Structure 1
Amino acid sequence: MLKRILKAGCVAAALIGAAGAVQAQDVTLKLHQLLPERATIPAKFLIPWAAKVEKESGGRIKIEHYPSMQLGGKPPELVQQVTDGVVDMIWTVMGYTPGRFPRAEAFELPFMVTNGEQTSRAFYEYFDKHMQNDFPGMKVIAVHTHGPGLLHTKDPVNSLEDIKGMKLRGPTRVITQMLDSFGAVPVGMPVPAVPEAVSKGVIDGAVIPWEITLPLKMAELVGNHTEFSGDRGLYSATFLFAMNQASYDALPDDLKKVIDDNSGIEAAAWAGRAMDGGDVVGRKKAAEKGNNIIVLDEAETNRWKEAAAPVVDNWVAEMKDKGIDGQALVDDAQALLKKNSM
């Protein structure tokens, strides 16, 4: 009898232990994104963010990270992948799906960005006020921007005239419109395609922030980099870190709380701060290589601002045609940037 009782106890303990093991890690989420692991956002934001979530969930959430589009498809398809539930989480460039997030484009307009952290805080507040209905099927974890975008070219750009006729990569429709306003020949493409396009002469350069020059090896591909005077960079792109809504809804309340606690303006600021750190390293690398880093003076920068002004006017008119008060959005974006840059 004693043996039977002991045996039954052992079986019960084993079952409880097995149940505990299942409980200990009961959710696996697939995170899909377009950049290599060594790029700033994966290395300094997405991977540490996932580790933090796993730790705070007590190991019950596991996040599988798939960089460089390893699960298939192309970068412009990421939004649809997460909406459809093909993957659980994505990080992507909003402008890769033109027309899907029109209100976000206010932060892509010329000479809006300050630095990554400040602009990301401002953009998250803007999202909270104006974009809550723009992400059906998604639980938004963070929206953010990068730091000041600039020119990286084979030939030097010392003035507005130097850019005319150059074939330059732009990440989104607003930014390609800006390049067109300068007299360049804009070529839209996702950032992973840039190195090959530059090396094959398809384009003469690109507009990207300093941080992404490192994984793209831009300092080796081009010898010239043009920055602008003042506290506003040439442009920024907008980014989305989101979860499939059904995947989020399926979580128990305590695991939802883990995701919630790691979402919002501080997550946005973390991503922007990572971008700022990457900018410092990217610029230093180009300087150490002996590349030509040009900083346009205030007078020349103002010429570029004047040339880009019609892009803002055209965007406001486009938004009006969509029933959106674009001027009010631009004004609020500027106010939020001022608030977060003090």
Structure 2
Amino acid sequence: MRRRYGLSRPLSFGGCKDIGEEPMIRRTLAALLSSAALLATGPAVAQETLGFGTANPEQHPLVTRILTPWVEAINAEDPSVLEIQLRNGPMIVNHTNFFDRIQDDVVQMVFGITAFDAGRFPRSLVTTLPFMVQNAEQGALAACLFYEAGGFGDETADIVPLLFVQFPQASLHFQNHPATSMEDMAGMKVMTGSPVVSGLIQAYGGTPLSINVPEMYQALQRGTAEGLVMNFTAFPGFRLNEVTTDHLIAPLGGGLGLVFMMRDRFEALPDAAQEILERHSTCETSRQTGAAIDAWEADALAFVQSDGERRFHTMTDAQVAELVERVGGPIEAAYIERTPGGAEALEIYRQSLDDASAAIAE
């Protein structure tokens, strides 16, 4: 009986036993082995492919400068184990539905700004308090340390944060209205995405409007709003420079973005895929991301400054001191009052900021 894989005697092809049997067999085997080698060296297919909803257009600086380099570094690790595919644009994920989209497994990874879902992330709003964060590098590292110290409490019970994306302190901007001091907000309708900053606007006689960043341009264009509190990173991507003319550079609160997965989805990944993500989700990674955002903020400010005739003022040290004295205490008290475990969160965050500053200074 002929063995299945080892040939005990020459094959017979159509009864033509004597016509070059052995050379033909060798050529056939060589062709099969060559095909197998080609298949083995072809493009690797990822064991796990994760869709990443960024909530921003492909050309937005957050995508091009921050998220894409992070994803590319992960994808370069081992394509046979893990691949992340960016899903840009607001059609799949936007700034208000990001948690629902990942919870429903429309995407498996998402970017979202916690202040835009404040009811789900109330403790995280400590990162939006005015006067506290010096820059995005310090703030991103502090947010990661805050997480490691349990500062988020139960808010992260069902998710795994992978990257902390801290935005710098916001400034005050108006369209054809002076922006030289906080008193210029009196009687004005001013947009913000942060509940904390809403209280600050009210303290100076303004009317806060809760409008998400993608809708701010039209609100200013139509006169629904007259100003906004926002950092400069938002200006190029959302063309806010086209609908503002006056700017007061001031420490009016930051904002925290998270890149995260649902915890059960993360834990279902193979160990090798989890390890790749963990290597790119350290506090040092977040710190580097914060430094990149500081560079983005500087570039965005230069872009706005070069864009036509406009007026800039920078809040003086005396004005900042007056601002802190007037609203600092009440803003912190309001945060503590409306936030479960707010006093503890604020204490942990202050320590995280100090630890971040010390680590960066080393």
Return the TM-score normalized by structure 2.
0.84
Which residue of structure 2 lines up, in the alignment, with residue 223 of structure 1?
Answer: 245
Out of 115, 119, 135, the position equivalent to 2:139 is 119
Which residue of structure 2 lines up, in the alignment, with residue 255 of structure 1?
Answer: 273
The range that moved more, 31-40 or 129-138, is: 129-138
Is residue 211 from structure 1 mapped to residue 233 from structure 2 by the alignment?
A: yes
Cα distance change on mapping 1:163 and 1:47 into 2, 3 Å: same
Deviations 1:118-175 (A, max 9, x none): 1110111001112264224422102231112111111122223211121111112222
Cα distance change on mapping 1:51 and 1:125 into 2, 3 Å: same
Match of 2:343, as an amino acid? Q
Which residue of structure 2 lines up, in the alignment, with residue 173 of structure 1?
Answer: 195
Deviations 1:58-100 (A, max 9, x none): 464332212222315x422101221232211101101111221
Which residue of structure 2 lines up, in the alignment, with residue 135 of structure 1?
Answer: 156
Is residue 234 from structure 1 mapped to residue 255 from structure 2 by the alignment?
A: no
Query: In 2, are the aligned partners of 1:28 and 1:62 still within 8 Å (CA)?
Result: yes
Which residue of structure 1 lines up, in the alignment, with residue 90 of structure 2?
Answer: 69
Match of 2:136, as an amino acid? G
Is residue 162 from structure 1 mapped to residue 184 from structure 2 by the alignment?
A: yes
SS of equivalent residue, structure 1 residue 187: strand
Cα distance change on mapping 1:256 and 1:156 into 2, 3 Å: same
Q: CA deviation at 1:222?
A: 0.7
SS of equivalent residue, structure 2 residue 156: coil
Match of 1:65, as an amino acid? L
Which residue of structure 1 lines up, in the alignment, with residue 346 of structure 2?
Answer: 330
Query: Gapped runs of 5+ residues in structure 2?
Result: 1-10, 12-21
- CA distance in 2 between partners of 1:13 and 1:102 (Å): 60
Which residue of structure 2 lines up, in the alignment, with residue 270 of structure 1?
Answer: 288
- Which structure has more relative contact order (CA 8 Å, sep 6+)? It is 1
The range that moved more, 30-39 or 163-172, is: 30-39
Is residue 49 from structure 1 mapped to residue 70 from structure 2 by the alignment?
A: yes
Cα distance change on mapping 1:250 and 1:224 into 2, 3 Å: same
Is residue 36 from structure 1 mapped to residue 82 from structure 2 by the alignment?
A: no
Q: CA deviation at 1:185?
A: 0.9
Is residue 94 from structure 1 mapped to residue 110 from structure 2 by the alignment?
A: no
Which residue of structure 2 lines up, in the alignment, with residue 293 of structure 1?
Answer: 312
Cα distance change on mapping 1:4 and 1:178 into 2, 3 Å: farther
Q: CA deviation at 1:270?
A: 2.7
Of structures 1 and 2, the larger Rg is shown by 2
Query: Gapped runs of 5+ residues in structure 1?
Result: none
- CA distance in 1 between partners of 2:111 and 2:221 (Å): 27
Which residue of structure 1 lines up, in the alignment, with residue 101 of structure 2?
Answer: 81
Return the TM-score normalized by structure 1.
0.89
Q: CA deviation at 1:327?
A: 2.3
- CA distance in 2 between partners of 1:14 and 1:245 (Å): 42
Query: In 2, are the aligned partners of 1:82 and 1:89 still within 8 Å (CA)?
Result: yes
- CA distance in 1 between partners of 2:133 and 2:110 (Å): 24
Cα distance change on mapping 1:182 and 1:18 into 2, 3 Å: farther
